[in-house]
Amino acid sequence: MKKVLYIVLFAVIASSAMAQQSFMSWQYSMGFATGDLKSYTSPVSFRGVTYNYNKFVKDNVAVGLEIGWNVFYEKKPFDTYNYKNFDYSGKQWRYSNNVPLLFTVGYYDMSNEITPFVNVGIGTMYSERRTSFGQYYFIQDGWHFELKPELGVMYNTEGASLAISGKYYYGFKTGDLPAEGYFTINVGFVIKR
């Protein structure tokens, strides 16, 4: 996890150094697991945050960097669970930490006070699944190749804006981790530079 934190810190510092026709946003993310991730931990995640940096390369087209963190959690009742051909009995706590690191390209319709936008991202996602039985736990982790589409709107004001968007993150299968996908609803602030 330390590697991820260093990468995030480097990306934030690097994006702050580039300033011409750019904007940054910080968003709260609420996540909804899909596919195998939903089988592993199904409740809605209220533990998420995203940072975006975007720079306009044309009037309505921006390229950027996105870093996020979503944590999915579920407590399972006392039961017998199978992991790698062994059976374990007890209460189970399941955590899935997902950290996407993406390069993005977006189109922003800047003609009105309300700015609709579409954004796509490509990159990687670090995932860590931690399954705990009291003092014993199992960890599966890996780096997925990831794609992300996004639709949203910004309400523009002087200097800062409010942004609301929906994103779908899809990390392809890697090592012993299956493909992981989840939707997020994001609300945050945008600061223009």
pTM of the model: 0.85
Closest CA to 192 of 157, 165, 159: 159
Kindly report, residue by residue over 157-172, the tens digit of the pLDDT. 777 889 999 999 999 9
Per-residue DSSP letter, 18: -
Task: Decide: helix, strand or coil at residue 21.
Answer: coil
Give pLDDT tens digits for 1-29.
666 555 555 555 554 444 458 999 999 99
Domains defined for the chain, CATH in brackets: 2-192 (2.40.160.20)
Dihedral (CA of 144, 146, 152, 156) sign: positive
Instruction: Give the pLDDT confidence of 66-116 residue by residue, as tens digits.
Output: 999 999 999 988 878 777 787 878 888 999 999 999 999 999 998 888 999
Burial class of residue 171, CB neighbours in 10 A (0-12, 13-18, 19+): buried
Residue reference for tokens 């306009």: 56
